[in-house]
Chain A
Amino acid sequence: MNTYAGIEIVVYFAVLLAMVKPLGWYMARVYRGRPCGLDAVLAPVERLLYRLSGVNPDGEMSWQKYAVAMLIFNLLGIVAVYGLQRLQGSLPLNPQELGTVAPDLAFNTAVSFASNTNWQAYSGESTLSHLTQMLGLTVQNFLSAATGMAVLVALIRGLSRTSTETIGNFWVDMTRSTLYILMPLSLVMAIVLASQGVVQSFGPAAEATLLDPTTDADGQAVLTQRIPMGPAASQVAIKQLGTNGGGFFGVNSAHPLENPTPLSNFLQLLAILLIPAALCYTFGEMVGDVRQGWALLATMLIIFVPLVGLGLWAESAGNPRLADLGIDATATLQQSGGNMEGKEVRFGVGTSVLWAAATTAASNGSVNSMHDSFTPLGGLVPMWLMQLGEVIFGGVGSGLYGLLIFALVAVFIAGLMVGRTPEYLGKKIEAYEMKMAALVILIPPIVVLAGTALAVSVDAGRAAIANPGPHGFSEILYALSSAGNNNGSAFGGLGANSIFYNSLLGVAMFVSRYWLIIPVLAIAGSLARKRQTPVSAGTLPTHTPLFVVLLAGIVVLVGALTFLPALALGPIVEHLQLTSMNS
């Protein structure tokens, strides 16, 4: 990593933190239904939507009703994306004349986009028509993000309301998330991205004549190159802002037409963490104590920043296996140096590592470099960030509701230590909340570890491995960690487009999304019913550095205890092999 990358990373954190308060404040106004500046344009649209759909925007929902509305809405999304893929061959906007997508792949992709995972077992440019990308995937990018944000807001209401049965209205929360937050940000972002060179056109691929013709695998002369087109900018903007991560093209934001310049890279990187970070402030605003929000953001940062540092160190050190080949991998102002396999020159090692960490801390999953070719420790960073449960930033909404569940566990453990009934924000945390919290925290690791165990013990699972030795195991562990935490990034060598993986990972994504949302909403409903306990001398303050350290410690401890044995079989042993001379 050279000086340029160092400066860029520092500027990145500064800009991100500077945007937390304004955006967080704005989102709090949106969720409280207060005027927020865009009402003149959007309020009539919003009212029309409610009238057409028969929704009473003032009608409050119990948690059960909220959950049913959310599930029906998401199920519709899964059916629509599946249908579009199966029928795209006979639908318009298909200039490349792409055929029907196979049922297992269509199922996997439909669940993937509805669950905000955006795992991609296909390559967009050669599999999906423009219509499928727009009407199926772009729509789900908005709606799955809006679903996560709605559930978070419901949980926040559970914490801030007292003695009530209701936690808000799903239709209103979903609609307002989409119209007032995701849509305006995406519009601006998409137009800026298109100005940088992200394609936004409905034509077929252009054909360019090569300056120096080459030959293909059969020795046939190749005289031309096809340059893909499509409505990419509009999809890329929301893919980053909504922590979706599903690329328009197969190689995602490493593709020069999806992420052409350092500026497009910086903005996309910013968009990955922007809403998850700002929602911390929104939370603080809505519970009436912004210090609570800053404490959660601080918790995320004290885990995130050291892991970025570890990744930078590992990737900058380069690949010792190539050391004797007469290669110059030093970092200078003339080259990035380090481990450049699977990285683009315009990004270099620095922002590739920062991106890998950000995209897996948030449950985004887009990539601008190939994680499979990272050094073992460089690859451990994104893998472990996913395994921590996608609560370090995490998905829009889902990351923060996940961290709030960890916060309940933290006050519970602290309460056990001093023998007091634990409280969070004045709400007593009791057996019911802890049972639900245990479900939220345990389901993803069970899905990941059981899924990995299954995949490595059957031929169909092992056949997909691309790299030998412990790295092959890492590829499978990474895939399950990604699907089981709704991330979507991959160690791309794994040949995951098979009936086995499409089914296994499809089920993993479904379980980890919806089986977590339901207990979270149950907690919201239960907390909303409780009364506010007055603060006393024995109350554990939850905005102090002490609590930040306690919460971060619990997140790390749960992640480490659960996954260290698996990590030892993959990246850790591979690291020892890489650094020992004769293996």
Chain B
Amino acid sequence: MTQSSQANPDSKESSTPRDRNAAEPRSGNPRTLDLSESMRAAAVLFLSMTVITGIVYPLVVTVVAQVASPQASTGSLIHDGDRIVGSDLIGQPFDDARYFWGRPSATTPAYNGLGGSGSNLATTNPALRAAVQERTERLRAADKGNTLPIPVDLVSASASGLDPHLSPSAANYQAARVARERGIPLQRVRELIKTHTQPPMFGFLGQPRVHILRLNRSLDAVK
């Protein structure tokens, strides 16, 4: 729309113009304030809006979502037969050297699905440095001889405590350890990382990321 030239479109709705002195704006209210009328309007509209936005709206969304995306709207669960073995969206804790380790989790116990939480440690808090140091030492102890710098997401707690992903750097950092522990070729492990790496959506949305639970499950499937 171009520059609107009409002057004050709302002004034509106004009631009879009164010539009030603009410097004395505190004038009496021409309309009586009927409280019981306002109460009725408030009560009925509140109840109706509660039905519309609190019952009809979520139910319509639920019906459409469960029909259109039944898997995604119910937790993106991963099944193995009739057993639920996880969710595509929720990470799991790993501390066995044969598995890729995911993001450190600040929940108790780690990756507690009902208690998502970040560490909330400040950058200046000595406890953060101590925690990161402990994580670097554990990683290096499990992978003697690997002197590469450790990708930062592998030693920093996620925001949710449930992050299912690592950066490709952080997965590749662990590839040699996992290959050695499992006695499978490093090349095979790297291929699996690639298989479970999602690039940014449409080439730029979000970050490239490796799904750790899927990756670890595929390792177990390697014969």
Between B14, B48, B91, the greatest number of chain A beta carbons within 10 A of the residue's beta carbon is seen for B14
In the complex, the answer to whether A467 meets B61 with C-beta atoms within 8 Å is no
Question: Inside 8 A of B184's CB, which chain A residues have their CB?
Answer: none
Question: Inside 8 A of B40's CB, which chain A residues have their CB?
Answer: 53-54
CA separation between A257 and B41, bound complex, in Å? 38
Contact flag A207-B84 (CB < 8 Å), given A229-B75, A326-B150: yes
In the complex, the answer to whether B165 meets A345 with C-beta atoms within 8 Å is yes
Contact mask for chain A residues 182-209; partner B; CB cutoff 8 A; 1 contact, 0 none? 0100110011001111111111011111
Beta-carbon contacts under 8 Å, A202-228 to B = 202-203, 205-212, 214-217, 222, 225-228
In the complex, the answer to whether B113 meets A226 with C-beta atoms within 8 Å is yes
Nearest CB of chain B from residue A136's CB, rounded to whole Å: 8
CA separation between A341 and B90, bound complex, in Å? 18
In the complex, the answer to whether B125 meets A266 with C-beta atoms within 8 Å is no
Closest to A329 in B: B152
The verdict on B141 contacting chain A, using a C-beta distance below 8 Å, is: no
In the complex, the answer to whether A233 meets B61 with C-beta atoms within 8 Å is yes
Closest to B35 in A: A68
Between A2, A49, A80, A165, the greatest number of chain B beta carbons within 10 A of the residue's beta carbon is seen for A165
Closest to B136 in A: A325
Beta-carbon contacts under 8 Å, A377-397 to B = none
Contact flag A69-B41 (CB < 8 Å), given A288-B7, A345-B207, A369-B159: yes
In the complex, the answer to whether B74 meets A201 with C-beta atoms within 8 Å is yes
Question: Inside 8 A of A142's CB, which chain B residues have their CB?
Answer: 49, 53
CA separation between A2 and B158, bound complex, in Å? 19
Question: Inside 8 A of B116's CB, which chain A residues have their CB?
Answer: 123, 125, 249-251, 254-255
Question: Inside 8 A of A333's CB, which chain B residues have their CB?
Answer: 208
Contact flag A227-B90 (CB < 8 Å), given A53-B41, A263-B201, A326-B136: yes
Nearest CB of chain A from residue B214's CB, rounded to whole Å: 10
In the complex, the answer to whether A209 meets B85 with C-beta atoms within 8 Å is yes
In the complex, the answer to whether B156 meets A340 with C-beta atoms within 8 Å is yes
The verdict on B222 contacting chain A, using a C-beta distance below 8 Å, is: no
Nearest CB of chain B from residue A68's CB, rounded to whole Å: 6
In the complex, the answer to whether A197 meets B31 with C-beta atoms within 8 Å is no
CA separation between A326 and B140, bound complex, in Å? 11
In the complex, the answer to whether B124 meets A139 with C-beta atoms within 8 Å is no
Contact mask for chain A residues 57-91; partner B; CB cutoff 8 A; 1 contact, 0 none? 00011101100110011001100100000000000
Question: Inside 8 A of A578's CB, which chain B residues have their CB?
Answer: 123-124
- Count of chain B residues with a beta carbon within 8 Å of a chain A beta carbon: 137
Nearest CB of chain B from residue A119's CB, rounded to whole Å: 16
In the complex, the answer to whether B113 meets A227 with C-beta atoms within 8 Å is yes
Closest to A217 in B: B108
Beta-carbon contacts under 8 Å, B125-149 to A = 125-126, 128-129, 132-133, 136, 147-149
- Count of chain A residues with a beta carbon within 8 Å of a chain B beta carbon: 170
In the complex, the answer to whether B54 meets A135 with C-beta atoms within 8 Å is yes
Beta-carbon contacts under 8 Å, A122-146 to B = 123, 125-126, 134-136, 138-139, 141-143
In the complex, the answer to whether A260 meets B89 with C-beta atoms within 8 Å is yes
Question: Inside 8 A of B60's CB, which chain A residues have their CB?
Answer: 187
Nearest CB of chain A from residue B34's CB, rounded to whole Å: 9
In the complex, the answer to whether A187 meets B65 with C-beta atoms within 8 Å is no
The verdict on B174 contacting chain A, using a C-beta distance below 8 Å, is: no
CA separation between A431 and B191, bound complex, in Å? 73
Between B4, B35, B87, B152, the greatest number of chain A beta carbons within 10 A of the residue's beta carbon is seen for B152
In the complex, the answer to whether B54 meets A466 with C-beta atoms within 8 Å is no
The verdict on A108 contacting chain B, using a C-beta distance below 8 Å, is: no
In the complex, the answer to whether A344 meets B15 with C-beta atoms within 8 Å is no
Partner of B153, one of A202, A225, A336: A336
Nearest CB of chain B from residue A235's CB, rounded to whole Å: 8
Question: Inside 8 A of A291's CB, which chain B residues have their CB?
Answer: 3
Beta-carbon contacts under 8 Å, B80-136 to A = 83-96, 99, 103, 108-126, 128-129, 132-133, 136
CA separation between A192 and B223, bound complex, in Å? 40
Nearest CB of chain A from residue B219's CB, rounded to whole Å: 10
Closest to A322 in B: B132
Nearest CB of chain B from residue A365's CB, rounded to whole Å: 15
Closest to B103 in A: A345
Partner of B208, one of A235, A334, A469, A574: A334
Partner of A372, one of B122, B205, B208: B122
CA separation between A72 and B39, bound complex, in Å? 7
Partner of A348, one of B110, B170, B207: B207
The verdict on A357 contacting chain B, using a C-beta distance below 8 Å, is: no
Contact mask for chain B residues 178-213; partner A; CB cutoff 8 A; 1 contact, 0 none? 000000000000000000000011001111110001
Between B27, B39, B58, the greatest number of chain A beta carbons within 10 A of the residue's beta carbon is seen for B58
Show 6 A/B contacts (Cβ-Cβ < 8 Å), sorted by A: A45-B52, A134-B55, A228-B113, A237-B61, A255-B160, A372-B121
Other A-B pairs, 4, CB within 8 Å; known A190-B65, A368-B159, A493-B122 = A234-B62, A288-B4, A373-B119, A492-B120
Enumerate the 5 nearest inter-chain pairs by beta-carbon distance, A residue then B residue, closest first: A262-B206, A493-B120, A194-B65, A254-B159, A335-B167
